[in-house]
Every structure is written in structure tokens, then in C-alpha cells.
């Protein structure tokens, strides 16, 4: 086997202040082999991709080596040219067609300013696409192609300028946006590449494709390789166990009494959500789990009214809530969006101004002015209450760490004792210390009577924080797990169940908008 | 705190002003240091100051209003047309002019928020439409005989300064109060800072944008009316000349006092700095194209400065954050 080994890492580590994202990772890849890397969010998968592709510099002492054409081991910056990556977003330009996208990657300047031959380019593109069993119009702009066809273009582009067949191809969640049958076409292309001698590493959340496609599975947990086993020795149960690990010690969620039903969703649709009904009581924390494309990412926005609803209604304290963020805010609904930079906060403003923005009316003086002293007092009060670090509310928000920014985003809603609190990925990009503080704030809010919805891709977080968790699949609630049966492994199993039972069935409706509906 | 307030980074324009005054005082002392020169300089820059202060509103809300020059021109012609063709009194004519300017601004705002056209393009298109309206109303001719009473409006004096100087101060004070001291001002800055986040915090961002552009249109129209009053003529060609100086002042102003925010105080200081700079060069015998060169250079320099300041802040942010940050998935 050693003769055709393409890639090896030894003692690969990557530390960030306060956290070691990768610890002593030894990874081998041979010609013709397909290796799947699995793990939960935060297990180090992305860091591994970034370390291999040179986006992150690995810690001193780490070795990443790639076999060159002449059979020598290359290391350092030289490896980057030898590892071909396809990122989740594919990196194609939507308005250009296949031919143009394929030629973007070509070395520029070889033919200088001489005109190109459109006919020959088209022919070349066609034959290239066909090698990956693609058969579509190479003159159509990329945005008109299906996600599966797009991924074939991306792979063809990555491979079209390989000098030799035995190189390393790295795919970062290549099927996240694909339907079952499209994923199958992509797998065909990947298998072909491997048969020609390439070594393929692919990162994936989907168990069935891992089991079908990979020769070997590497599982990461907490930045360490916890398993490196041939697929033949695995089944679904074992795989879930590898990914989830043992459940963590539970947080003290306090004794909370459930009050009246406060938030009711009745058959709401919109985005990837396809008819969800949900009731959340005052004092209750309800989690929403589900893989990418299950509708999980859209549910909070739909409840809040920032994502347009195509059907259904939302009731807050028994009264209908129209789909408008302003109305929602005035009725006491708070929303912490998943993308803090784009939607959650105004990074160029001080923490104080972010904190008071949703309810400036309370601070209005007699002349229609803003009572500056009262505002400053309140900002200081909340900075202390959420343990803002540094505790300076006048500091521009972008100067705080991610965790402290998130504390401010949360505090701006907590300030008014929200009736309903909607949290979408509340601890994304948040360090461990701030995570615990944020959990405590959420639990305190629930104890004070808020109805809380937490949507998260982190099963550990949901298992720790929630009274019950609804699991979404294909835009609908597929399962509901109560507190006493709540565990990470259970959530992982429920989220992925659809993959196991019927991996490739696919309704025709909504195929364009919802890339992952079953 | 005091050091930071007085630092070059924070109030560079004040230091530049001091330097300019010092240089010109040595270079052309017998003309530059006379009260009449300063008085006329203030009077001349008052209209630009009013337009620039108005412009701060849409800029703070995150919208470019490239129609602001055309709106000045519209104000100048509409007030003259109302006084002569319609025979209205000065007060009614000025009020209706404000309404016309506000309508143009509001319509630009609707194009931006409802039709979803980028503010740059929407206001550029509107400026051409407004220029056409000006030509149509005036037949591209000057409108004369606006009446004695109306001329006093801009040429009259109070405590040694002409009315426009005082009016610029009043407009500045009102806009300053709204932006810096009221919830509305906070919402305007929030909308400009991050439209999505502001909307999700319950701010009516569309209303804020339309309102800011309408207010800017009204203020620009007011400046136009003052211009007609000063010239005793409705001149259909004066508008576009206000665009660049107003932007130069607003951008230069954004680098002052409030670390990157468009603000009224900075803008007023910037207008004054630019006026002093141009005036001194003119007194020193510089050719007629100097104001254009000076304002253009100032605009580029101001934008360059704003970018550099922002990058420096971000670098500081990165340094400060790295202590805590955890990067993964």
C-alpha cells in the first residue's frame, strides 16, 4: 500500500487561543481510495479542511506531506498545489456558462491575447463533462443548471488541469445542497475519479452516503481522530456512536413551571419549511434539530416574520401575529439570527446603541429626545449583567469577541423581558466560556417566563439546554424528543433517519427552492 | 479622553483649518485678514453648508442621494416660478418649494425601498428627471423680477451676518438634534449601519430611508430658494454645482469627531475648511478653476482618509478579538 500513498499527516494540530481545534491528527490517503471524514459541528472537520488547504497554518510540529509526480514527499507550501478542493459553495460564477467556468481555472497567458476557438472550447467542455457522466447544455449559464450538474462542473474544473490522475481531491460537504438522485450522479463522478487513481477525502453529514461511497471512515470528536476504520466494519448504529460519542454532563436547567401556551405556529410554510405546527409554553425551552436543508435554518425567521410565510399562522399569547419584524418586536418577540454580522447586530455601532435599539421608546424624554444618561445607565447595567468583557458599553461592537458580541445581541432582547425568544444558532462562533454564560442567560429568561425556541445544528447544545426537541426532516416535524429521553445520539439518529430509510426518493414539487425535501 | 478628543485622527480638519489660516495670513495678509472677506466667505459657503447638512441624513441612513444638486436647482426654479407665474407670496412660495423638494426625495426613497433600485442609480436617474423638469418649467431661461421682498430673504442681515449664515446654523442645529439626540436619529444610523439588523430589531427601515431622502430633498430645495433670492433670479443652471462641494464636505465631515459616522458638526467644519482653502488661493491670485480642483481633491482625500481610518479600526479590532476568538465550524 505504501508505494501508492498520496497524502499523509502526522501529529497535525491547530490551536486557537482557548481551544485546540485539531489534536495529533494522523491521516493517510492512498491512490484509488475514498475516505470519509465525519463528526459533529465543532469536531474539527472544517479546521482540518482549512489546514490541508493552507487557509490555516497548522501548529509547529505538524506535518502535512503529499507525494509529488516523481514520488518524493512534498511538504509546506508546495503541498497546496497538489491538493484540489471543492468547497461547499463550489466557487462557480452563476452567470457564466459551463465552458467559461471551466476555462476560468486555466492558466492565463499561455496563449496571450490570441483569440480562442469557441467551437473547440465547447467540444472540450462537452467531452470533459461526459467523463463525469454529465450530459447537459454547456452553453447554459451555471445558474440554470441543477445543483447536481453544478457540482459536476466544479469537479470537472478541479480535475481538468490535473497533470496526472493520482492526485488528492478534497470535497467539503459536496452533497449538502443536492437531492438524492443528484447526489447519486455526483457519487458516480467521484467513484470514477478514484478509479483513475485519485485519492478522495470527503466531509459529510449524511450517513448513507458515507457508508455507500467511502472505503474508510475517519471520525473526529473534539479535534481528535477517535476512529479510523474500513467501512466494511461499520453499520449505521456504530457510525452514529462514533459521531455522537458519550453525552455530556447536563447543565442545571433549574426548576421551571410551564405557563400558558405563548407561541403557537399553525401549519406554517415558507423557505424550506413545509407545514410545521408547534406550541411553546411560557417558561419552556424547545429545541429545533435537523440537518442542513431540513427547514431548521428557516423556522425561527418564519416565526418572527422576517422570512416570508406562504401559508399558516403564528399566534403569540393567543393573538395572531402578522409576518412583520416590527410587529413581532412590539409584541415582545425577540429574534437572535444565526448570522450575527449580516443580520444580528450593527458592528460599527457601540454596544450601548445595539443594546437599546429595539426599544428606544422607553428612553424618550419630554422633548422627543433620547435620555442619554438613562441610556448609559441601562447599558452599564446590562453590560454587567451579561458579564461583557471588556465591560465597556461604549466600545464599538466589532471590537468585541464573537461570544461577547452575541451576549450583546441577546441582551438587547432580554432587556424587555421578551414574551417569546427565538434563537437561531445562538452559540455559533462563540468560545466555550461565553457559551456557558449564554446558556445561563437563556435559562434565566425561560425561568422569568419567556417561551424560548432554540434552533441549532449542535445536538449537544440542544440536549443540554432544552425541555424537548422537535426534529425537522424535509420541512416537517419528524420526531419530538422529550427531556427524559434527550441525548446527543438520539438527536443525531432522528435527524439522519430519513437518510437511512429512504435515501433517494424525491417529490417533484418544490424541487427548485427546497434542495433537500423528502 | 481629552487627548483622544484633541488627537489629529479625531479633529484633523480643525488642525488643517488652523494651518490654512496661518499660511494665508502670512501669504496675503492685507486681504485675507479683513472682516469683509470673512463675512462674504461665510455668506458664500452658507448655501453649500445647508445642502451638505441635508445630505448627511440620507448618507447616515446608508443611501446616496446624487440628485441633491438637481434638487437645489429645482428649488431655485420652483420658487421663482411660483412667485412670478403663480403670483404667490414669498412665504407660500418657499413652503411649496420645500414640499416639491421633499416629494422628489421621497420618490427617490420609494424607488430605493419599494422598487429595490440601488440608491446610487435611483438618485442618478432622478437627478436627470429633475433637470428635465427644471428645463420644462423655466424654458431653460432665467426667471427674472422675483420682487423686492423676496430678495431680502437671502440678502438681509442680522447681527452683521447675512440671513443664509444664520439659516445654515438653524438647519444644522435641527439636523444635529434629530441625528444625535433623538430615537429617530439612532434609527437612521442603525439603518445605515446594517439594514438587515435594524429591520430585525423592529426599525421601519423603509420609512427611515424615504424620510431621510425627503428631508434631504426639502433642505436642498430650501437652499435653492435661498440661491434664487440672493440672485433675485431663478437660474435653471445653478443646481449641479452644489453636488460635489456638498459631498466633499459630508465625507470630510465623516472623518471628524465621530470616527467614521456622517455627522453635522464635522460637515459644517468641513464646509468652512474648504471655503477657507479656496478663498485663500483665490486671494493669492490662483486661477478660476481652483475651486473645482480643490473640492475634487478634498473629496478624494476625505474618502481615502475614511477608508484608512476604517482599516485601522478593523486592525485594532482583530488584535483585540484574537485574545478570545475561537474559530471552528
Alpha carbon distance B110, B115 (integer Å): 7
Q: Output the nine-digit C-alpha cell for A457.
A: 445544528
User: Which of A222, A247, A272 is where one domain is finished?
Assistant: A247
Across the interface, whether the CB atoms of A402 and B324 are under 8 A apart is answered yes
Q: A247, A276, A292 — which closes off a domain?
A: A247
On whether the CB atoms of residues A84 and A169 are closer than 8 A, the answer is yes
DSSP character string of A100-159? HHHHHTSPTTSSTTPPP-HHHHHHHHHHHHHHTT--S-TTSBGGGS-HHHHHHHHHHHHH
d(CA A374, CA A386): 18
Q: A293, A514 in Cβ contact below 8 A?
A: yes
Region B239-268: mean pLDDT is 89
CB A326 within 8 A of CB A305: no
Residue A338 included in any domain: yes
Give the Å distances, CA to CA, from B317 to A395, A401, B219, B313, B321: 10, 9, 37, 6, 6
Whether the predicted pLDDT of A120 surpasses 50 = yes
Do the strands A199-203 and A19-30 form a parallel or antiparallel pair, or are they unpaired?
A: unpaired
Place of cell 409584541: A331
- Residue B83 is part of a domain; what is its CATH number? 1.10.3470
The 10s digit of each residue's pLDDT in A202-216 is: 887 777 778 888 999
Whether the Cβ atoms of residue A338 and residue A296 lie closer than 8 Å to each other: no
In a domain, A124, yes or no: yes
Cβ distance A16 to B197 less than 8 Å, yes or no, reads no
Find out whether B94 and B147 touch, Cβ atoms under 8 Å.
no
Q: Is the dihedral of CA B117, B121, B122, B125 positive or negative?
A: negative
Looking only at the bridges linking them, the beta strands covering A476-482 and A216-221 are unpaired
Which of A349, A365, A435 would best serve as a mutation to test chain B binding (most B beta carbons within 10 A)?
A: A349
The three three-digit cell numbers of residue B9, written as one number: 485622527
Residue A517 or residue B229, greater confidence: B229
- A16 lies in the same domain as A80: yes
| A400, A408 contact by CB (below 8 A) | yes
Q: Which residue has the higher pLDDT, A117 or B15?
A: B15
Confidence category of residue A469, pLDDT binned at 50, 70, 90: very high
Verify whether the Cβ–Cβ distance A361 to B183 is below 8 Å: yes
User: What is the pLDDT, as a whole number, of residue B294?
Assistant: 86
Average pLDDT over residues A362-368: 84
Q: Could you give the percent of chain B with pLDDT greater than 90?
A: 52
Q: Which residues of A touch B200 (CB under 8 A)?
A: 304, 306, 325, 335, 337, 343-344
Rg (CA), chain A: 25
Which has the closest alpha carbon to A287: A439, A515, A513, A503? Answer: A439
Question: A121: buried, middle or exposed (CB in 10 Å: 19+, 13-18, 0-12)?
Answer: middle
Measured between alpha carbons, how far is A177 from A196 in angstroms, rounded to an integer?
A: 26
Sign for the CA dihedral angle at B250, B256, B257, B258 comes to positive
Amino acid A167: pLDDT: 82
| Chain A residues inside the 8 Å CB shell of B326 | 16-19, 21, 402, 429-432
A380 CA: distance to closest CA in chain B (Å): 18
Same domain? For A388 and A323 the reply is yes
Same domain, A173 and A28: yes
Please give the pLDDT value at position B100.
95
What is the arithmetic mean of pLDDT over B203-215? 95
**Least confidently predicted of A193-197, A431-435, B19-23:** A431-435
Q: Nearest-CA neighbor of B93 among B228, B217, B214, B212?
A: B228
DSSP per-residue string spanning A452-496: EEEE-S-HHHHHHH-SEEEEEETTEEEEEEEGGG--HHHHHHHHH
Query: What is the model's pLDDT at position A178?
Result: 67
**Which of B181, B197, B317 lies at the smallest CB-CB distance from A346?**
B197
Contact across the interface for B200 and A343, Cβ inside 8 Å: yes
For A340, the grid coordinates are: 450575527
**What CATH number did the domain enclosing A463 receive?**
3.40.50.300
**To the nearest whole number, what is the mean pLDDT of chain B?**
87
pTM metric for this prediction: 0.76
Spatial contact of B272 and B18, defined as CB atoms under 8 Å apart: no
Q: Region A314-334: what's the mean pLDDT?
A: 92
Reported as a pLDDT band with limits 50, 70 and 90, residue A514 is very low
Q: Are residues A341 and A488 in the same domain?
A: yes
Supply the pLDDT for residue A503.
40
pLDDT of residue A518: 37
State the pLDDT at residue A422: 95
Q: Do the beta carbons of residue A289 and residue A462 sit within 8 Å?
A: yes
Q: Do residue B327 and residue A429 have CB atoms under 8 angstroms apart? A: yes
pLDDT, average across residues B85-114:
92
Run of H or E residues at A381: helix A372-385
Q: Is the domain of A223 the same as that of A291?
A: no
Q: Round to whole Å and give the CA distance between A204 and A181.
A: 17
pLDDT of residue B189: 95
| Identity of the residue in B181, B313, B316 whose CB atom sits nearest the CB atom of A370 | B181
Report how far residue A251's alpha carbon sits from residue A454's, in angstroms, rounded to the nearest whole number: 15
Average pLDDT on A375-404 reads: 87
Position A297 scores a pLDDT of 87
CA nearest A334 in B: which residue?
B201
Res B104: pLDDT: 96
The mean per-residue pLDDT over the stretch B95-115 comes to: 95
Which one of A222, A360, A405, A460 would you mutate to disrupt binding with B, by most B Cβ within 10 Å of its Cβ? A360
For residue A186, the surrounding DSSP H or E stretch is helix A180-195
What pLDDT band is residue A180 in, cutting at 50, 70 and 90? low
In a domain, A189, yes or no: yes
Interface pTM, i.e. ipTM: 0.83
Shared domain for A191 and A280, answered yes or no, is no
Three-state DSSP string of A273-327: EEEEEEEEECCCEEEEECCCCCCHHHHHHHHHCCCCCCEEEEEECCEECCCCHHH
Q: Is the same domain home to A57 and A129?
A: yes
Q: A300 is in which domain, residue-wise?
A: 261-501
Average pLDDT over residues A114-138: 77
- For A248-300, the pLDDT digits (tens) are 444 566 667 788 899 999 999 988 899 999 999 999 999 999 877 788 889 99
Closest alpha carbon within chain A to B200:
A325
Per-residue pLDDT at B68 exceeds 90? yes
More confident site: B176 or A147 = B176
**In the predicted structure, residue A498 carries a pLDDT above the cut 80:** no
Measured CA to CA, the distance from residue B221 to residue B307 in angstroms comes to 31
The separation between CA A433 and the C-alpha centre of its own chain, rounded to angstroms, equals 21
Task: Identify the three-state secondary structure at position A20.
Answer: strand
Residue A217 shares a structural domain with residue A92: yes
**pLDDT, position A314:** 94
Residue A256 covered by a domain: no
- Report percent pLDDT > 70 for chain A: 87
Answer yes or no: is pLDDT of A2 > 80: no
In which band, very low, low, confident or very high, does the pLDDT at B132 lie, cut at 50, 70 and 90?
Answer: very high
Mean pLDDT across B272-287? 87
Task: Tell me if A266 is assigned to some domain.
Answer: yes
**Share of chain A residues as helix, strand and coil, in percent rounded to the nearest 5:** 40, 25, 35
pLDDT at A61: 83
Three cell numbers written together for B85: 407665474
Count CB neighbours of B317 within 10 A.
Answer: 18
Q: What is the domain extent for residue B187?
A: 2-328
- Give dist(CA A515, CA B6) in Å, integer: 57
Distance CA B246, CA A89 (A): 42
CB B226 within 8 A of CB B154: yes
Does residue B324 carry a pLDDT above 80? no
pLDDT reading at A16 higher than 80: no
Cell of A66: 503529499
Mean pLDDT across B243-257: 90
Relative orientation angle of helices B35-60 and B183-193, to the nearest 10 degrees: 70
Q: Provide the pLDDT confidence category of residue A501 given band limits of 50, 70 and 90.
A: very low
Give the pLDDT score at A291: 79
- Name the pLDDT band for A179 (thresholds 50, 70, 90): low
Whether the per-residue pLDDT at A433 is higher than 70: the answer is no
How many angstroms away from the CA of A510 is the closest CA of chain B? 26
A149/A70 same-domain check:
yes
Task: Tell me whether residues B325 and A17 touch, CB distance under 8 A.
Answer: yes
Record the cell numbers describing residue A103, joined without a space: 476555462
Residue B188 phi, psi dihedral angles, 5° rounding: -65, -50
Q: Per the domain annotation, does A343 fall within a domain? A: yes
Give me the mean pLDDT over the B241-260 stretch: 88
Q: Is residue A269 in some structural domain?
A: yes
Which residue did the predictor score with more confidence, B320 or A83? A83
- Secondary structure string (H, E, C) spanning chain B: CHHHHHCHHHHHHHHHHHHHHHHHHHHCHHHHCCHHHHHHHHHHHHHHHHHHHHHHHHHHCCCCCCCHHHHHHHHHHHHHHHHHCCCCCHHHHHHHHHHHHHHHHHHHHHHHHCCCCCHHHHHHHHHHHHHHHHHHHHCCCCECCCCHHHHHHHHCEECCEEHHHHHHHHHHHHHHHHHHHCHHHHHHHHHHHCHHHHHHCCCCHHHHHHHHHHHHHHHHHHHHHHHHHHHCCECCCCHHHHHHHHHHHHHHHHCCCCCCCCCHHHHHHHHHHHHHHHHHHHHCCCCCCHHHHHHHHHHHHHHHHHHHHHHHHHHHHHHHHCCCCCCCC
Quote the CA–CA distance of A14 and A104 in Å, as a whole number: 32
CA trace torsion A427, A282, A360, A352 (10° rounding): -30
Of residues B103 and A114, more confidence is placed in B103
One domain for residues A120 and A55: yes
pLDDT bracket for residue B3 (50, 70, 90)? low
Whether A510 is covered by a domain: the verdict is no
List the single residue in A with minimal CA-CA distance to B258: A349
Domain count, chain A: 2
Phi/psi at A508 (5° precision)? -75, -30
DSSP A384-436: HHTT-SS--TTSBGGGS-HHHHHHHHHHHHHTT--SEEEEESTTTT--HHHHH
- Check whether A237 has a pLDDT greater than 70: yes
CA A372 to each of CA A143, B193, B267: distance values in angstroms, whole numbers, following the listed order? 50, 20, 23
| Residue B129 · residue B105 · CB < 8 Å | no
- What's the whole-number average pLDDT of chain A? 81
User: Both A286 and A415 in a single domain?
Assistant: yes
Q: What is the pLDDT of residue B177?
A: 94
Please tell me which of the candidates A343, A363, A431 has its beta carbon nearest to residue B324: A431
Model confidence band, residue A515 (pLDDT cutoffs 50, 70, 90)? very low
Q: What are phi and psi of A479, to 5 degrees?
A: -160, 155
| C-alpha–C-alpha distance, residues A104 and A93, integer Å | 9
Return the residue in B59, B182, B184, B202 with the most chain A beta carbons within 10 A, the one to mutate for interface testing.
B202
- pLDDT value of position A251: 56
The residue from A247, A269, A285 where one domain ends is A247
Q: Residue B204 in contact with residue A327, Cβ under 8 Å?
A: no
H or E segment and range at residue A37: strand A34-38
SS3 of residue A190 by DSSP: helix
The answer to whether the CB atoms of B324 and A403 lie below 8 A apart is: yes
Helix (H, G, I), strand (E, B) or coil at A195: helix
pLDDT at position A437:
85
pLDDT value at A89 more than 80: no
Q: How many domains does chain B have?
A: 1
pLDDT in tens, B109-131: 999 999 989 999 999 999 999 99
* Separation between Cα atoms, residue B169 and residue B167, nearest integer Å: 5
B290 vs A510, more confident: B290
Amino acid at each position: 500500500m505504501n508505494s501508492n500513498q498520496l497524502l499523509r499527516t502526522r501529529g497535525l494540530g491547530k490551536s486557537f487561543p482557548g481551544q485546540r481545534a485539531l489534536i495529533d491528527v494522523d491521516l493517510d490517503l492512498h491512490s484509488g481510495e475514498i475516505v470519509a471524514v465525519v463528526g459533529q459541528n465543532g469536531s474539527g472537520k472544517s479546521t482540518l479542511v482549512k489546514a490541508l488547504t493552507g487557509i490555516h497554518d497548522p501548529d509547529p510540529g505538524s506535518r502535512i506531506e503529499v507525494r509529488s509526480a516523481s514520488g518524493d514527499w512534498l511538504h509546506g507550501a508546495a503541498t497546496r498545489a497538489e491538493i484540489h478542493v471543492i468547497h461547499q459553495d463550489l466557487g462557480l460564477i452563476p452567470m457564466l456558462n459551463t465552458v467559461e467556468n471551466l476555462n476560468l481555472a486555466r492558466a492565463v497567458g499561455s496563449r496571450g491575447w490570441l483569440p480562442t476557438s469557441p467551437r473547440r472550447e465547447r467540444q472540450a467542455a462537452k467531452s470533459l463533462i461526459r467523463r463525469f457522466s454529465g450530459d447537459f447544455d454547456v452553453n447554459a449559464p451555471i445558474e440554470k443548471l441543477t445543483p447536481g450538474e453544478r457540482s459536476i462542473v466544479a469537479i470537472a474544473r478541479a480535475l481538468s488541469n490535473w497533470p496526472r490522475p493520482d492526485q488528492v481531491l478534497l470535497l467539503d460537504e459536496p452533497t449538502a445542497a443536492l437531492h438524492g438522485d443528484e447526489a447519486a450522479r455526483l457519487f458516480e463522478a467521484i467513484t470514477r475519479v478514484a478509479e483513475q487513481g485519485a485519492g478522495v477525502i470527503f466531509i459529510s453529514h449524511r450517513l448513507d452516503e458515507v457508508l455507500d461511497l467511502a472505503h474508510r471512515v475517519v471520525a473526529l470528536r473534539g479535534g481528535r481522530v477517535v476512529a479510523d476504520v474500513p467501512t466494511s466494519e461499520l453499520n449505521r448504529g456504530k457510525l452514529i456512536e462514533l459521531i455522537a460519542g458519550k453525552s455530556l454532563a447536563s447543565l442545571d436547567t433549574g426548576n421551571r413551571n410551564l405557563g400558558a401556551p405563548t407561541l403557537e405556529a399553525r401549519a406554517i410554510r415558507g423557505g424550506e419549511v413545509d407545514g410545521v405546527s408547534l406550541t411553546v409554553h411560557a417558561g419552556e425551552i424547545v429545541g429545533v434539530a435537523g440537518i442542513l436543508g431540513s427547514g431548521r435554518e428557516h423556522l425561527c425567521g418564519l416565526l418572527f416574520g422576517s422570512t416570508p410565510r406562504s401559508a399558516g399562522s403564528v399566534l403569540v399569547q393567543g393573538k395572531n401575529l402578522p409576518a412583520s419584524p416590527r410587529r413581532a418586536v412590539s409584541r415582545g418577540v425577540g429574534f437572535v439570527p444565526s448570522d450575527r454580522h449580516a443580520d444580528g447586530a450593527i458592528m460599527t455601532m457601540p454596544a450601548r446603541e445595539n443594546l437599546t435599539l429595539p426599544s428606544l421608546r422607553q428612553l424618550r424624554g419630554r422633548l422627543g429626545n433620547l435620555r442619554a444618561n438613562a441610556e448609559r445607565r441601562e447599558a452599564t447595567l446590562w453590560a454587567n449583567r451579561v458579564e461583557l468583557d471588556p465591560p465597556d458599553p461604549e466600545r464599538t461592537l466589532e471590537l468585541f469577541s464573537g461570544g461577547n458580541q452575541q451576549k450583546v445581541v441577546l441582551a438587547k432582547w432580554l432587556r424587555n423581558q421578551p414574551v417569546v425568544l427565538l434563537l437561531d444558532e445562538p452559540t455559533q462562533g462563540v468560545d466555550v466560556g461565553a457559551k456557558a454564560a449564554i446558556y445561563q442567560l437563556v435559562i434565566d429568561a425561560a425561568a422569568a417566563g419567556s417561551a424560548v425556541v432554540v434552533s441549532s445544528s449542535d445536538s449537544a447544545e440542544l440536549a443540554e439546554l432544552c425541555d424537548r426537541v422537535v426534529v425537522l426532516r424535509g420541512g416537517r416535524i419528524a420526531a419530538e424528543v422529550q427531556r427524559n429521553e434527550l441525548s446527543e445520539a438520539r438527536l443525531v439518529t432522528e435527524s439522519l433517519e430519513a437518510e437511512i430509510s429512504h435515501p433517494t426518493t424525491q417529490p417533484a414539487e418544490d424541487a427548485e427552492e427546497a434542495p433537500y425535501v423528502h | 479622553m481629552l487627548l483622544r478628543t484633541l488627537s489629529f485622527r479625531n479633529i484633523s480638519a480643525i488642525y488643517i483649518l488652523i494651518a490654512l489660516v496661518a499660511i494665508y495670513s502670512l501669504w496675503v495678509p492685507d486681504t485675507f485678514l479683513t472682516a469683509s472677506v470673512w463675512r462674504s466667505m461665510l455668506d458664500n459657503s452658507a448655501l453649500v453648508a445647508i445642502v451638505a447638512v441635508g445630505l448627511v441624513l440620507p448618507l447616515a441612513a446608508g443611501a446616496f442621494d446624487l440628485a441633491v444638486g438637481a434638487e437645489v436647482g429645482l428649488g431655485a426654479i420652483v420658487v421663482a416660478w411660483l412667485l412670478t407665474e403663480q403670483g404667490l407670496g414669498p412665504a407660500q412660495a418657499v413652503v411649496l418649494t420645500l414640499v416639491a423638494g421633499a416629494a422628489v426625495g421621497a420618490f427617490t426613497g420609494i424607488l430605493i425601498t419599494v422598487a429595490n433600485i440601488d440608491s446610487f442609480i435611483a438618485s442618478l436617474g432622478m437627478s436627470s428627471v429633475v433637470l428635465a423638469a427644471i428645463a420644462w418649467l423655466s424654458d431653460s431661461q432665467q426667471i427674472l423680477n422675483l420682487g423686492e421682498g423676496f430678495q431680502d430673504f437671502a440678502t438681509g442681515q442680522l447681527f452683521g451676518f447675512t440671513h443664509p449664515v444664520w439659516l445654515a446654523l438653524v438647519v444644522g442645529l435641527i439636523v444635529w438634534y434629530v441625528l444625535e439626540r433623538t430615537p429617530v436619529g439612532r434609527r437612521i444610523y442603525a439603518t445605515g449601519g446594517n439594514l438587515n439588523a435594524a429591520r430585525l430589531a423592529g426599525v421601519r427601515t423603509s420609512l427611515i430611508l424615504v424620510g431621510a431622502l425627503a428631508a434631504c430633498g426639502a433642505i436642498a430645495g430650501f437652499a435653492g430658494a435661498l440661491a434664487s433670492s440672493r440672485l433675485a433670479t431663478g437660474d435653471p443652471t445653478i443646481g449641479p454645482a452644489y453636488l460635489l462641494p456638498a459631498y466633499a464636505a459630508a465625507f470630510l465631515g465623516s472623518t471628524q469627531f465621530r470616527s467614521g459616522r456622517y455627522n453635522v458638526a464635522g460637515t459644517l467644519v468641513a464646509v468652512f475648511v474648504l471655503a477657507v482653502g479656496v478663498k485663500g488661493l483665490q486671494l493669492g491670485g490662483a486661477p478660476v478653476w481652483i475651486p473645482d480642483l480643490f473640492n475634487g481633491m478634498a473629496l478624494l482625500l476625505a474618502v481615502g482618509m475614511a477608508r484608512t481610518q476604517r482599516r485601522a479600526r478593523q486592525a485594532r479590532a482583530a488584535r483585540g478579538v484574537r485574545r478570545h476568538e475561537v474559530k471552528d465550524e
